Structure 1
Amino acid sequence: MTALDVSPARPPAGSRPATPARLDATTPLVARREVAIVAATFALFPLVAALAPGTPTSAKARALALTRLQGTHVVGAEELLRAWFDRLPPAVSAATEIAYLTLHVTAIVGVGVWLVVRRPSDYRRFRIAFVIAQLMTIATYVLLPTAPPHLASTPGLDAASWSDVVQYRYAAFPSGHVVFACLVAGTAAWWVRGRRLAPLYPTAVALVAIATGHHTVADVVAGALIAAVALVVARRPSRGSRALGPDRVRRRQGHGHGQRRGNGQRRGHAAAPVRDGT
């Protein structure tokens, strides 16, 4: 008589055990590491403001040179947009300025948190794109300090502002706001439904940046190019890359703890050869 097998049921051979969708994304070590990386990247802005590369004269001269390179038609369109913005009610223009100064950080952080929660295995690529774009932007600020349009035509030193603590006043080229907006839009175009609407956000940010006198078309184009390069580099598959999410955990568990098969064979071990006695 065959003994009754009372061992608990095991999943079929080759199946993968279920794992929590957010196992890696919520571990304290990973969370602290990611927060440190993002915080250090953001800290580059006040660092450049403290270093204050270049001089006001050279920054304004570079801004005027870029304006001349744009041509009269582009400059005329910029002036029309700024004139229209100046005619808006003060409450509307003030709200637009506040949104312009705060929304880009809120959007980029919000997208990062959303990826960690909903698509943790894709977060690493987004973080890589963010860091690359930030480094390229900061390097351009240091090498080519450029005054914004509303300061380019004013002679001498400019009055100090509270924003000088976190943002260098002669960091107009490229537009960091457009860089952030394009990173958000590029992420939405890859991983969110309604991706056809994604370009509307950076377009709106670019128009506001020009209308408020913070940037020119050249600044906007340079910001979009930097974001595009960062997104393309981050999307390239790398051999041996380690995802933040559950993919790596599932791969590890897929090879672990052998499960019994017929004839005493364990998962992960080859079956013993059968000898014919010859």
Structure 2
Amino acid sequence: MRSAVTDAALPLAPPPGPRRRALLPARLRPTGRPRLWVELAFSAALYFAYSRTRNLVPEHRTAALHRAADIWRAERWLHLDPELAVNHAANKVTWLIVGMNYYYATLHFVVTLGVLVWLYVRRPEHYRAARTALYAATVLALAGFTFFALAPPRFLAGQGFVDTVVAHHTWGSWDSGQVASVSNQYAAMPSVHIVWSAWSGLTLAALARRTWVRVLGICYPVVTFTVILATANHFVADAVAGALTLAVGFLLQRLLTGRPAYGP
């Protein structure tokens, strides 16, 4: 029989902490790997939504150009306007700016898709939460394109910006028929390049096991930010809006599931 002194010396178990309430019921927030066809259906739905915003481009052109001029004027007044200097400096080095043009046109999709596949295969316990944050932020961005169409800086040629894709005849020019038919050229706010690159970088930095992969994850959105300014595809304000959009995406994911995207 234990003595009273011995029992008193035993540490008491800490009381359980408060549980975060989730908006979704438990049956709608599993943690395992989802079915592939469900993920493909999500992707198709996002593409359909993007197509709807693209169809509104002709109606938004004039307003988008006026907003771009207003944002550029506001950034200059605040002295937060490195876009023109970065655009001109990069444009002087042909191999650099051509590489940035291809970076902008390709890695945006390749890296994001690659990280999604890596999560699905190698980190299935984190896939649903991280994917939910990404998709929530993307839907918010699509809403921004619909209600706040904004032209990129490269459309403000009168302000001195150089459209680097046109100037260097890079493959996939935005003025070519094929690209123009599948892209919304007035979808600068928020920057989806920042949304997706920051999500990819955070995911790799949080979940990758190799140090060099985590370092690449940290560097990737920083390089992307430089590229979107150098190619005159986005304002600084677009990048800030993209970062805030992703933050809201992670917040919505946390509210829906009651757990952090990269938690244990």
TM-score normalized by structure 2?
0.72
Tell me the equivalent position of 1:183. 199
Q: How does 1:84-123 map to 2 (within 5 A)?
A: 84-89=89-94, 91-123=95-127
RMSD: 2.6
Tell me the equivalent position of 1:274. none
The answer as to whether partners of 2:194 and 2:243 remain within 8 angstroms in 1 is yes
2: distance between equivalents of 1:44 and 1:54? 17
Residue number among 180, 193, 215 corresponding to 2:234 in the alignment: 215
1: distance between equivalents of 2:155 and 2:143? 21
Residue correspondences, number: 211
Matched residue SS, 1:100:
helix
Are residue 205 (structure 1) and residue 211 (structure 2) matched? no
1: distance between equivalents of 2:230 and 2:253? 32
2: distance between equivalents of 1:236 and 1:66? 32
Are residue 230 (structure 1) and residue 234 (structure 2) matched? no
2: distance between equivalents of 1:160 and 1:86? 21
Matched residue SS, 1:74:
coil
Q: Does 193-202 or 56-65 show the bigger shift? A: 193-202
Cα 1:174/1:103, change in 2 over 3 Å: same
- Consecutive unaligned residues in structure 1, runs of 5 or more: 1-23, 242-278
Larger Rg: 1
Higher helix proportion (structure 1 or 2): 2
The answer as to whether partners of 1:186 and 1:231 remain within 8 angstroms in 2 is no
Residue number among 160, 178, 185 corresponding to 1:162 in the alignment: 178
Are residue 55 (structure 1) and residue 71 (structure 2) matched? no
The superposition leaves residues 126-176 of structure 1 with CA deviations (integer Å, 9 ceiling, x where unpaired) of 221121111100000010101111113569xx9664322222111111111
Q: Does 230-239 or 96-105 show the bigger shift? A: 230-239
Tell me the equivalent position of 2:72. 67
The superposition leaves residues 3-51 of structure 1 with CA deviations (integer Å, 9 ceiling, x where unpaired) of xxxxxxxxxxxxxxxxxxxxx648xxx1111111123213432331123
Give the superposition deviation at 1:237.
7.0
Flag as ranges the 4+ runs of structure 1 deviating above 4 A: 158-161
2: distance between equivalents of 1:98 and 1:206? 15
2: distance between equivalents of 1:117 and 1:159? 38
Corresponding letter in the other structure for 2:149:
P
TM-score normalized by structure 1?
0.68
